[in-house]
Chains A and B, each alone.
Chain A
């Protein structure tokens, strides 16, 4: 790591020792986040592929199982998450124009909306638990139905929990990042010259939102008569 004399401290941002200029640092941070998000696309992509293939192999059971998850809660969550992306975008704007108070407010709003999303998700999961739709925990989709029906339904729910669970995990990480951002913004750390963390975490938050935008129709909407 660079020695003390090498670190030039800007008014609100620090130049890390390995970089020559703030410009280089900003560029690196941004490219880094985009590269990271591309790995996430491939990560979720593998599961999306598995789900899609299974859906086309067992359209009936998957359709039936899909209709048993709560569309209302899913729809509300979609609106909540899109709203949170709006507030996140507003916070990025606020930091770029130097409106520090608005920045903090929008960040807090984003966190609240994200938490609402997670809370509703919790309610959905609880519903599924009560109905014995959680694989590995007394799973029984249709008492009396054939082994195959239950097995295929379990396939749907395994993928449902894996996909929404992984998404929720990303949301929780996002919430943690937001808490840190709120703390830093309360200290007045972000200015028009230096708002990199806000930009990057904003990118991450939008990505997690986009994953949900794909999840929702795939899991909730297809074949929903």
Chain B
């Protein structure tokens, strides 16, 4: 059964989209909601580029001797797929699009703390992206997104320097976004919005922002040194000149591991919003979900060398990092159990965002659990650098983060645009995505255990069956992505008008117009209710008596 109300409303007369007109009013905006849309367009662009590369890769891998592209081109394709997707899609996506749009609304503020810096972040992202696109266009990049030295700094003949410069610059976009979020969440909450009344989406972004500001500077300096090494023939990471390639790996992974938590924490925040809304009950274990976000951010800084178990690092180091890697899995498990428990005795509807959330739980479960295989030292000897790893991280990044992102876009689409998307088609797309995804990536676990290494443009013939399955899945997955792009665009003009709170949901953002005014609230709200409280909210128009109320608001905290 769907949550949606009867149609027939009108869009509000004035809102952030029509408040001012003209290209300048968009390119020089400081409205966090417009900046979010600017990011939406740019990240979608990079997603399309990265996705196209992935498509070519999968088609090429249909046959063991891959005659579609040359080895050089193949190596560039997987590298550029990784760089585009990780740095220019996954890392910014939820924070820069949904976070930017929603955080001020969720805490009752008129905008972020530093609106101009917010706009600057977007321009920095564009400049970084420009350098990377320049690298792609002038020779491409073939070092792997991990830029291991001395391959990247000495031996590669591709356009490494502009790519490294582009990623370096893009890092500052992340840093400024994280800075903006942290200050905003600390100082600009509306009266009554205490820390423990904050939506979990905000907690998730707070944790993510900690990683933004502490981790990103390290990759910045690492890439700077690697770039200088390449340009000036210096020797930081080149053993022929006294340097150490393993030092590069330590510095690189010190950021890049926490970076994966940047990619997943916001998606977890989205799920924590969707499930209470479509089960119409509070999240189970609020404090534990909030706390687990912080725990993941902190512990996530101490596991980086699990990417280096087989570099010859000391066995003591390996043991330590393996143990810590198991530790960082626990908070994620806690979240999954809490989300599942939220469904118990709920009043569940099957709206599209809920389908994405449930799909997320299933896929993140597989992705997260397979991390336990890789953290296991004895198993990692066999699984390191195989397709098992590829399957693991795609389950989390695509099955997790991207589903969270797309689910979030659907969930807040009415707020962002004032309109609803076609529900039936959206459900079909969600299921298509889920099926296509599993078919694409599950066979890769088996390929990995059989020993197929990563980054191979050709492979022994015994691996072909699973590769063909994977490519078939990818074609279904592609449809799952294309459909929303089409109907969401269609809905901006022809979709049913949504009204303020179509689902309805309990957050502050749903008390504004859809779309909201530029300054969000006519009057600064005063918060007197707990998060996800459906019982004490008569304004939602729900039948409160249908569920017997239990103990007072704070059951567990």
A24, B189: Cα distance in complex, Å: 10
B182 partner, pick from A35, A44, A49, A151, beta carbons under 8 A? A35
A173 contacts chain B at the CB level, 8 A cutoff:
no
Total CB contacts across the A-B interface at under 8 A: 123
B486 contacts chain A at the CB level, 8 A cutoff:
no
**Is B183 a contact partner of A31 (Cβ separation < 8 A)?**
yes
B214 contacts chain A at the CB level, 8 A cutoff:
yes
A36, B112: Cα distance in complex, Å: 16
A40, B172: Cα distance in complex, Å: 11
User: If A18-B111, A42-B217 touch, does A31 touch B182 (CB 8 Å cutoff)?
Assistant: yes
**Is A18 a contact partner of B112 (Cβ separation < 8 A)?**
yes
A180 contacts chain B at the CB level, 8 A cutoff:
no
A39 partner, pick from B29, B213, B224, B251, beta carbons under 8 A? B213
User: If A1-B31, A39-B175 touch, does A53 touch B247 (CB 8 Å cutoff)?
Assistant: yes
**Is B241 a contact partner of A151 (Cβ separation < 8 A)?**
yes
**Is B228 a contact partner of A17 (Cβ separation < 8 A)?**
no
Chain B, 100-120, CB within 8 A of any chain A CB = 104, 109-115
Chain B, 186-200, CB within 8 A of any chain A CB = 186-188
Q: Which residues of B contact A42 (CB under 8 A)?
A: 213-215, 217-218
User: If A17-B519, A46-B251, A151-B242 touch, does A39 touch B221 (CB 8 Å cutoff)?
Assistant: no
A151, B242: Cα distance in complex, Å: 6
A 7-44 to B, binary, CB cutoff 8 A, 1 in contact else 0:
00000000001111000100110011001101110111
B454 contacts chain A at the CB level, 8 A cutoff:
no
Chain B, 203-257, CB within 8 A of any chain A CB = 213-218, 220-222, 224-225, 228, 231-236, 240-244, 247, 251, 254
A105 contacts chain B at the CB level, 8 A cutoff:
no
A58 → B minimal CB distance (Å): 7
**Is B31 a contact partner of A35 (Cβ separation < 8 A)?**
no
Q: Which residues of B contact A135 (CB under 8 A)?
A: 232, 234
B179 contacts chain A at the CB level, 8 A cutoff:
yes
B188 partner, pick from A1, A17, A19, A54, beta carbons under 8 A? A19
A18 partner, pick from B188, B240, B242, beta carbons under 8 A? B188
A12, B147: Cα distance in complex, Å: 51
A47, B175: Cα distance in complex, Å: 18
What is the interface of chain B mostly: helix, strand, loop, or mixed? Answer: helix
A135, B178: Cα distance in complex, Å: 36
**Is A158 a contact partner of B179 (Cβ separation < 8 A)?**
no
Q: Which residues of A contact B213 (CB under 8 A)?
A: 35, 38-39, 42
User: If A136-B233, A155-B236 touch, does A32 touch B114 (CB 8 Å cutoff)?
Assistant: yes
What is the interface of chain A mostly: helix, strand, loop, or mixed? Answer: helix
A96, B53: Cα distance in complex, Å: 58
Chain A minimum-CB-distance residue to B29: A1
B52 contacts chain A at the CB level, 8 A cutoff:
no
A45 contacts chain B at the CB level, 8 A cutoff:
yes
Chain A, 43-98, CB within 8 A of any chain B CB = 43-47, 49-50, 53-54, 57-58
A154 contacts chain B at the CB level, 8 A cutoff:
yes
A223 contacts chain B at the CB level, 8 A cutoff:
no
Q: Which residues of A contact B115 (CB under 8 A)?
A: 1, 18
B73 contacts chain A at the CB level, 8 A cutoff:
no
B3 contacts chain A at the CB level, 8 A cutoff:
no
User: If A45-B218, A154-B241 touch, does A31 touch B186 (CB 8 Å cutoff)?
Assistant: yes
B 11-46 to A, binary, CB cutoff 8 A, 1 in contact else 0:
000000000000000000111000000000000000
**Is A158 a contact partner of B235 (Cβ separation < 8 A)?**
yes
Q: Which residues of B contact A154 (CB under 8 A)?
A: 234-235, 241
B536 contacts chain A at the CB level, 8 A cutoff:
no
A31, B233: Cα distance in complex, Å: 40
A22 → B minimal CB distance (Å): 12
A162 contacts chain B at the CB level, 8 A cutoff:
yes
Chain A minimum-CB-distance residue to B216: A39
A151, B179: Cα distance in complex, Å: 40
**Is B247 a contact partner of A58 (Cβ separation < 8 A)?**
no
A2 contacts chain B at the CB level, 8 A cutoff:
yes
Q: Which residues of A contact B30 (CB under 8 A)?
A: 1
**Is B242 a contact partner of A152 (Cβ separation < 8 A)?**
yes
Chain A minimum-CB-distance residue to B113: A28
B244 → A minimal CB distance (Å): 8
A 91-113 to B, binary, CB cutoff 8 A, 1 in contact else 0:
00000000000000000000000
Q: Which residues of A contact B113 (CB under 8 A)?
A: 18-19, 28, 32
A138 contacts chain B at the CB level, 8 A cutoff:
no
A2, B218: Cα distance in complex, Å: 36
Q: Which residues of A contact B218 (CB under 8 A)?
A: 42-43, 45-46
Could you list 17 A-B pairs, sorted by A, with CB under 8 Å? Answer: A18-B115, A28-B186, A31-B186, A39-B175, A39-B214, A39-B217, A40-B217, A42-B217, A43-B217, A43-B218, A43-B221, A46-B225, A50-B251, A136-B234, A154-B234, A158-B228, A159-B236
Q: B interface vs A, CB < 8 Å? A: 29-31, 104, 109-115, 175, 178-179, 182-184, 186-188, 213-218, 220-222, 224-225, 228, 231-236, 240-244, 247, 251, 254, 518-519, 524
